[in-house]
Amino acid sequence: MVSTQIRTTKVQQSKLDTVDFSNLPFGKIFSDHMFVSDYKDGQWTDDRIVPFGHFTMHPASMVLHYGQAVFEGMKASKHEDGTPMLLSPLEHAKRINASARRMMMAEFPEERFVEALSQLVNLDQAWIPPQEGSALYIRPFMFATDEFIGVRPSETYRFCIVTAPVGPYYAKPVRLVVEQKYVRAVPGGTGEAKAAGNYAGSLLPAHLAQQKGFDQVVWMGGPNMTQVQEVGTMNIFFVIDGEVVTPATDGAILKGITRKNFITILKDQGYKVSERVVEIDEIVEAYDAGKLEEMFGAGTAAVVSHVSELQYKDKLMTLPPVADRKVGPFLKQYIDGLRSGKVEDKFNWLVKV
């Protein structure tokens, strides 16, 4: 049952007039309000929208010691007629609960999740940037709050949603290096969950790659570290001789919602799409044969992140210019057009706020 009992306390003075919407750094500017709900005694209570601000935490809050924290990434945009729109909000509700189950955390009711999103975005809709490709980034997250030092699941949690106006992300093509020492996740681990610790573990390899002049790493898995998993914090796609290929989710790979949408769009457009094990040697062979046409990351923040170069061992592979590519640019244009209302919502992904 949808919860409409969301207590709302509005800011006395909006910060909106201080924001330069033509210059939006990602994740640094936050909107006026946030949604908060607390879990105790087996239920979520006190759903509220309040002015954006700091939390007070006990030093023994379990999230600080044992890492029970999960999150989502979403975007709100405006239709051509000015209506705020959400893309696949129920899918995000389901995924944060899947993450919560893996981390032994309380699940947040899906309909209340969507209702909270709608009310929060409706209140702060003036923060949605007008430019196509820009959006109001939405960050739902949940963390343990028990004041206890001991390894067990917390019995209390806080669920929050904050929003931030953002411009286009990863606008320039990126240079990648295949990571051969560190791993992101393995089947049976927490790779399928959007757990905070997964991202903490990725920071060192990314830093080392950047010191070598690359933007991010390609994560590898499998018995011999030869199977492609993800790229940076995104799912990965290849276009090989007209076929679109992406690694199958095997328990180590995040089930990206943008990834899922891309596969649906491409199949509808008549592309051959394969979800399977992708060996790095296959990518090298395709490149040597002149059949590696595109490589790109897929995720909420960037939508499509084109790859310009890929380094594997001592081999540097340079991909065709973005201007000569078809699939990645088409998908980016499709999602941006869908958000703005220029592309028909034939899959019923959009939800009006």
Q: At what angle do helices 110-123 and 89-102 cross, to 10 degrees?
A: 130
Q: Is pLDDT above 80 for 171?
A: no
pLDDT at 132: 74
Does residue 289 have a pLDDT over 50? Answer: yes
Give the residue-averaged pLDDT of 321-348: 95
Q: Cα(287)–Cα(240) distance, rounded to whole angstroms?
A: 9
- Predicted confidence (pLDDT) per residue in 102-111, tens digit: 999 999 999 9
The percentage of the chain sitting over the pLDDT mark of 90, rounded to a whole number, equals 91
Q: How far is 267 from 113, CA to CA, in rounded Å? A: 30
| Res 4: pLDDT | 57
Higher pLDDT pick, 168 / 299: 299
Q: Which helix (H) or strand (E) holds 206?
A: helix 196-211
Question: What are the pLDDT digits (tens) for 179-193?
Answer: 999 999 999 999 999
CATH numbers and ranges of domains, the chain = 7-168 (3.30.470.10), 174-338 (3.20.10.10)
Burial class (CB in 10 A: 0-12, 13-18, 19+), 273: middle
For the stretch 112-125, pLDDT in tens is 999 999 999 999 99
Q: At what angle do helices 257-268 and 327-340 cross, to 10 degrees?
A: 100
- The model's pLDDT over 336-347, given as tens digits with 9 standing for 90+, comes to 999 989 999 999
pLDDT computed for residue 296 by the predictor: 97
CB atoms within 10 A of CB 154: 21
Asked if 304 and 298 count as a contact pair (C-beta separation under 8 A), the reply is: yes
Average pLDDT over residues 16-41: 95
- pLDDT exceeds 60 at position 1: no
CB 27: neighbour CB atoms within 10 A? 12
- 253-278 pLDDT, tens per residue? 999 999 999 999 999 999 999 999 99
User: pLDDT of 62-88, one tens digit each?
Assistant: 999 999 999 999 999 998 889 999 999
Average pLDDT (347-351) is 96
Q: How confident is the model at residue 172 (pLDDT cuts 50, 70, 90)?
A: confident
Statement: residue 168 has pLDDT above 80: no
The residue ranges of DSSP E strands in the chain, in sequence order, are 7-8, 33-40, 43-51, 69-71, 74-78, 84-87, 135-144, 157-166, 174-178, 216-221, 227-231, 235-240, 243-247, 273-276, 292-299, 303-312, 315-318, 350-352
Whole-prediction pTM: 0.95
Find the mean pLDDT for residues 321-330.
Answer: 97
Conformation bin of residue 158: beta by default, left when phi > 0, alpha when psi is -120 to 50: beta
Among 132, 108, 112, 130, CA closest to 120: 112
